[in-house]
């Protein structure tokens, strides 16, 4: 697509306008006329459709109509988490989206909202626009957060990331003797909460990783091996997590081998055994309390 043919039409599919503000900020970084983009006044004048918002029942009909009026070869760009997966509006009774349930989507740009730099770089790549080093602030700022990357060697499957994720973009499930940590890139808002909460520092939002994609499916999971419960044999516990806890205890507590082994066994019990073997759990807690006692002077 040559730059003199890029005409875009923006459609608000019932969003909060946060993504629209980012679009305006993007035009400050690189004026559209310098990139060869023209904003069309009507769908019939455009070949690119930019969509913001999660699409409710009213806007869904209008979106389908506008999409049908865009010139061929039409390109559709879903901007922001709401357009991609309905974001915070997911599950709302008036919602009919996400966008790709109404019209086909060629490019998703994640974020809530996406940063102007990400918008600029994504559109430049998708539309083959003349973005180079002379374009002001064309590259992301130093603090730019890209897609989450998980170090499989450090992840211990504790689930802290999923617990704190405000966008519900992380799924933890156990399958075939493994705990799978799955990031749903379409839901990720690049807030870095998972990175901050990870106790083993296994997650990093790498600046070099782009925040846009052509397929919004869940990324390949990180697999953590599980061990069996010492009481019933149910595969349920991450040895890495237990080892991490024991190392932390060793830094502050003083216990003999027998006491340490008792605490470690208590940590390895599955939830069912913790309920049915409450005396064993209580004993482990007593051992832990004894390890924490400060010796008399």
The domain limits of the chain are 3-127, 148-207+215-224, 227-292
pLDDT mean across residues, the chain = 86
Lowest-confidence region among 81-85, 113-117, 128-132, 210-214: 128-132
Closest CA to 90 of 22, 169, 202: 169
103-117 tens-digit pLDDT: 999 999 998 998 888
The pLDDT of residue 1 is 41
For the chain, give me the number of helices (H) and strands (E)?
11, 13
The reply to whether domains 3-127 and 148-207+215-224 share a CATH topology is no
Write the CATH number of the domain with boundaries 3-127.
3.40.50.12280
Answer whether 80's CB lies under 8 Å from 15's CB.
yes
Q: How far apart are CA 27 and CA 127, in angstroms?
A: 16
CA 236 to chain centroid, in Å, comes to 25
Structure token digits, residue 98: 């996400």
**Class at the top of the CATH hierarchy for domain 148-207+215-224:** alpha beta
In this predicted structure, the answer to whether residue 275 has a pLDDT above a threshold of 80 is yes
Categorize the per-residue pLDDT at 249 as very low, low, confident or very high, splitting at 50, 70 and 90: confident
Categorize the per-residue pLDDT at 143 as very low, low, confident or very high, splitting at 50, 70 and 90: low
DSSP assignment, residue 192? -
Closest CA to 200 of 155, 164, 239: 155
177-198 tens-digit pLDDT: 999 999 998 899 989 999 999 9
Its pTM surpasses 0.85: no
The pLDDT of residue 3 is 44
Q: How far apart are CA 25 and CA 119, in angstroms?
A: 10
């Amino acid at each position: 697509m040559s730059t003199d043919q890029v005409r875009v039409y923006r459609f608000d599919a019932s969003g909060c306008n946060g993504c629209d503000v980012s679009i305006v900020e993007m035009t400050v970084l690189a004026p559209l006329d310098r990139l060869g983009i023209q904003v069309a006044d009507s769908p019939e004048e455009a070949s690119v459709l930019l969509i913001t918002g999660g699409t409710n029942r009213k806007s869904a009909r209008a979106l389908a109509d506008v999409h049908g009026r865009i010139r061929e070869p039409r390109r559709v760009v879903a901007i922001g988490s709401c357009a991609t997966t309905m974001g915070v509006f997911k599950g709302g009774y008036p919602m009919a989206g996400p966008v790709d349930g109404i019209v086909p989507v060629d490019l998703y740009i994640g974020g809530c909202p996406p940063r102007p730099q990400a918008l600029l770089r994504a559109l430049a790549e998708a539309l083959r626009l003349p973005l180079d080093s002379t374009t002001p602030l064309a590259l992301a700022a130093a603090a730019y957060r890209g897609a989450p990357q998980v170090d499989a060697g450090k992840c211990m499957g504790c689930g802290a990331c999923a617990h704190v994720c405000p966008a519900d973009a992380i799924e933890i499930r156990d399958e075939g003797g493994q705990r799978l940590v799955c990031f749903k890139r379409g839901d990720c808002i690049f807030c870095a909460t998972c990175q901050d909460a990870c106790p083993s520092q296994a997650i990093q939002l790498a600046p070099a990783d782009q925040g846009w994609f052509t397929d919004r499916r869940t990324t390949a999971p990180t697999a953590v091996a599980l061990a069996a419960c010492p009481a019933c044999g149910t595969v349920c516990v991450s040895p890495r997590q237990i080892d991490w806890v024991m190392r932390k205890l060793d830094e502050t507590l003083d216990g003999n081998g027998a006491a340490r082994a008792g605490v470690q066994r208590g940590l390895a019990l599955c939830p069912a055994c913790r309920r049915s073997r409450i005396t064993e759990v209580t004993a482990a807690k007593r051992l832990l309390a004894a390890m924490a006692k400060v010796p008399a002077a």
